[in-house]
Each structure stands twice: as C-alpha cells, then as structure tokens.
Homo-oligomer: A and B are copies of this chain.
Amino acid sequence: MALTAVLRLPARALLRPWALLRGVALGRTEAAAGIRNGARRFGSQHVLVEPAAAAGVAVMKLRNPPVNSLSLELLTELVISLEKLENDKAFRGVILTSDCPNVFSSGLDLRELCGRNPARYAEFWKAVQEMWLRFYLSNLVLVAAINGACPAGGCLLSLTCDYRVLADNPKYLMGLNETLLGIVAPFWFKDSIMNTIGHRATEQALQLGSLLPPAEALRVGMVDQVVPEDQLLSTTLSVMAKWLAVPDHARQLTKSMIRQATADHLLKQRDADIQNFVSFISKDAIQKSLQTYLEKLKQKKG
C-alpha cells in the first residue's frame, strides 16, 4: 500500500487496533486462570485486587482475557472494586494494571456496540460514564502501570489516573484511536486527553486517531514515564510513595478543585450524552460498518 510510505507512524500503528480487537470480535472467553495464590483482598470475576508490597497500596488487575475489552460486566466490577477500596481505611492508593499479557485494555467491548437494543446501549453507556466519573474523581491516588497496548477506552481509563507509567515496548501503543474505526470519541474523552496533553496535541491525536509508541506517548505527555518492562512495578511503587507522602485531605481537596469542573461538564448533560450515544450507535451506517468489521475478523480467524 503506497500510502503507508508517506505516513509518519509505522504502518503497524494504523493496523494495530484491528489486531488488538480480534480476540474480542471472535468472542473468545478463555477460562479465567483461577484464583491466584496470596492475599487477595477483594475479588470479582474480571478484577483482581491484591495488596501491594507497600503499606496502604492495592494493585487492581484487569482480567478479561484475551484483551481486557471493557464489557458492561468489567466496567461494573471496576467501579465496585474501586468503591470497596475507597471505603476501606487500609488503602490510600491503587495501582491499576493488566493481568492479560501485552494488553492493558483494548477499550470498549465492540460486542456491546453491535446488534443490541437501545435500552442495552443506554445501560452500557451509563456504565462507561460511571467508570470515568468514579475513577477520574477518586479520592485515592491512582497510578496506572501500563503493561500492554492501551487504545481507545483503555487509554481513557489510564487518563483517569493521577500518574501513568508505561512499559517500554514498541508494541504497547497508546491513544484514542476512535476516528480510525469511523466513530467519534465523546466530549469527555476529549476533555480527558486535553487536560493531559493540551489543546494542540489533542487536535492532532484525536482527529488522527493516533496510537503512539512509548517514546512518542512520553513526548506529548500522554504518559509521565516510560521504563523497562521489568521495572514497571517498582517504578510505580516509587511514584506511589511520593504521592502518599502528601497528607490525604489536602491532596484530595486539591484534586477535586482541579478536576471537578471537567467532571461537571459531563454530569450536567449526562442523559443527553447517553441519548447521543444511543442515537449514533443505532445508525444503520455505523452498525453496518461495525458488523462488516466483525465479520471480517471472524473470517480471518476462521
């Protein structure tokens, strides 16, 4: 394809999102790896919560194989797990990471976007909003240990955190690539990324649906640090220690002062946003496009 020759991003950067979502499209539901040994505190089917090696810190691992697609179930479990940690005085910080190899999260589960009825679409979208609102405004310190590809809704989830550390692997691309799938990230996805990388970089990243390799993600500020993969957890723990050195109350009030207006932007029009989503995703053109895509993936796999 001649076009790729003139692209600044390598061809695989454009092709990657489809690849990442392949497993999802095919509906693989590999059996969970079973209960881990060790001191799991809270658990649910798709979210493991374990105490970290540091006081007051929990590690929350997404476990929805093969690619941690954000299904209604996973979104709900994420919110419940976070709420439990917020209500447990023993915890002040959470490290958010993936239990699936090579993928942090592939983003919204495409199966939730295809062939469902409006009520289900609305329920699903409300859960996406809820996840974003709860994580973005959490009074806990959230640090993302990004140990795999992080496109679309996976990127959004990481953007809710207070700090992002990305493992240095050229396959771990990151960004809000919705346009490349022919869909549009809603305004609060845009607000999230704009608060992180600024207005101009957002204009480019969001229109182009850029999936950035680690060095580029660091350069634009989408992540705060890039480290060798085997140092990811230790780095994240170091970062967490720095954040936990700050008195909770002052830090929480400061966080809220900075973030509340952005959250209010959605809160003030939450129902309208749901209606917009349901209306958009129900369009024949969008459904056909997504269906065609899913069929192709199944054939490839088949």
Contacts and interface: CB of A to CB of B under 8 A. Distances in A.
A242 B208 CA distance: 8
Contact of A254 (B3, B184, B224, B250): B184
Given A247-B179, A257-B190, A238 B6 contact: yes
Interface centre among A208, A250, A253 (most CB of B within 10 A): A250
Interface string A170-206: 0000000011111111010010001111111011101
Q: Give the residue among A184, A190, A239, A255 with the most B Cβ atoms within 10 A.
A: A184
Interface stretch (A7-15, A63-71, A108-116, A211-219): A7-15
A126 interface: no
A270 interface: no
B3 A185 contact: no
A119 interface: no
Given A6-B237, A245-B7, A203 B250 contact: no
Chain A interface size band reads: 35 or more
A195 B199 contact: yes
21 contacts: A3-B241, A6-B242, A7-B241, A162-B204, A179-B246, A179-B251, A182-B247, A184-B250, A184-B254, A187-B257, A195-B200, A195-B203, A196-B199, A198-B199, A202-B258, A204-B224, A206-B254, A207-B255, A207-B258, A208-B243, A208-B246
A221 B190 CA distance: 20
Contacts of A238: 6-8
A204 B225 CA distance: 13
Chain A contact residues, majority secondary structure: helix
Contact of A253 (B8, B184, B197, B241): B184
A245 B179 CA distance: 10
Contacts of A249: 182
A221 B209 CA distance: 20
A7 B198 contact: no
Interface string A1-24: 001001111000010000000000
A184 B242 contact: no
Given A162-B207, A203-B258, 8 more contacts: A3-B241, A6-B238, A8-B238, A9-B242, A182-B250, A194-B199, A195-B200, A207-B246
Interface string A39-54: 0000000000000000
A163 interface: yes
Contacts of A242: 6-9, 208
A241 B200 contact: no
A214 B253 CA distance: 28
A3 B245 contact: yes
A6 B247 contact: no
